[in-house]
Amino acid sequence: MKQQDDGAQMIEQAQDFLDESEAIYALVKDLSDEQLEQKTAFKDWSINAILRHLHIWNMAAYWSLTEPAKFHEFFKQAMAGMKDHAKQGRTSMRYFEADYLDHLSGAALIDTWRDFYRKMAPEFEAADPAMRVEWAGPSMSARSSITARLMENWAHAQAIYDVLGLKRENHDRIRNIVMIGLNTYGWSFKVNREEAPQPVPYLKLTAPSGEIWEYGDPDTGEKIEGLAEQFCQVVTQTRNIADTDLSVTGPNAARWMEIAQCFAGAAEKPPAPGARARVES
């Protein structure tokens, strides 16, 4: 746990969020306008659409920390805007976000997004980790808020790596996503209107550094083993479990990996087997 000079705790996940954002920036900064309009395997969203999405909800998280009234005003506008687009039969969130940013795209979007996350990260790092901030559902701690932003940025960036045909180099900061995935075991079942079966499976995951991360009781007969990045891909729904090399033992573990969803909102179906993969050059 890092501390400030006065002894107050600092939120380490803010640096992880910044590092992940900078990795995405390195990925997109030299792309042409044409490349940025490529459709990805994530619901046919373009790279521009993904970056707009990340930027808008980064702003929302920042306002929830620094200007709660502004967050509430934005959220009301977002809900109304998405409802209007849905009535017209369009992908409500993507169209609202494009309208909200006046269809910002290309280099201007990349610069605006980067300037903002660089301003945002230090504010979260210095915040009280336990401070409650508002969000779409229940309030959460400031630490949980910036960790959720790290998770969403990491997850959406996978579609960019995939469409560009690039193998991702992950880092041990994805442990934050592993923890979100584990902590939302019950949520994954609840959102699908199922009782969460017990016990929670034991996890034995290999970190990008080669370190072994273990969680839970290894003697339950419920077990998931393999690469941490593949576990993160499943719980963020960037890969179907069938497209990973994870070893899954036990009915609880098997069902979890079929429906895992570590993000808020209504139940979402994981991508079909083979639907999300790196484009081969």
Query: Given pLDDT bands bounded at 50, 70 and 90, which one contains residue 90?
Result: low
For 245-265, what is each residue's pLDDT tens digit? 999 999 999 999 999 999 988
For 221: left if phi > 0, alpha if psi spans -120 to 50, otherwise beta; the answer is left
CA dihedral 155, 156, 157, 163 (to 10 degrees): 120
Tally the C-alpha atoms within 13 A of residue 84's C-alpha that lie toward its C-beta.
Answer: 10
Q: How far is CA 84 from the centre of its chain?
A: 26
The token pair that represents 94 in the structure block: 């993507």
Q: How many residues does the chain have?
A: 281
Q: Is the pLDDT of residue 80 over 80?
A: yes
Q: Is the pLDDT of residue 5 over 50?
A: no
Sign of CA dihedral 261, 213, 8, 19: negative
Task: Report d(CA 60, CA 76) in Å as an integer.
Answer: 12
Query: Given pLDDT bands bounded at 50, 70 and 90, which one contains residue 1?
Result: very low
Task: Report d(CA 183, CA 186) in Å as an integer.
Answer: 7
As a whole number of angstroms, the longest Cα–Cα distance in the chain is 55
Query: Given pLDDT bands bounded at 50, 70 and 90, which one contains residue 3?
Result: very low
For 174-205, b/e burial (b = at least 16 CB within 10 A) is: bbbbbebbbebbebbbebbeeeebeebbbbbb
For 148-157, what is each residue's pLDDT tens digit? 999 999 999 9
Percent of the chain's residues with pLDDT above 90: 86
Q: Is the pLDDT of residue 201 over 90?
A: yes
For 217-229, what is each residue's pLDDT tens digit? 999 999 999 999 9
179: CB partners within 8 A, 6+ apart: 147
For 119-143, what is each residue's pLDDT tens digit? 999 999 999 999 999 998 789 999 9
Q: How confident is the model at residue 88, as a pLDDT? A: 63
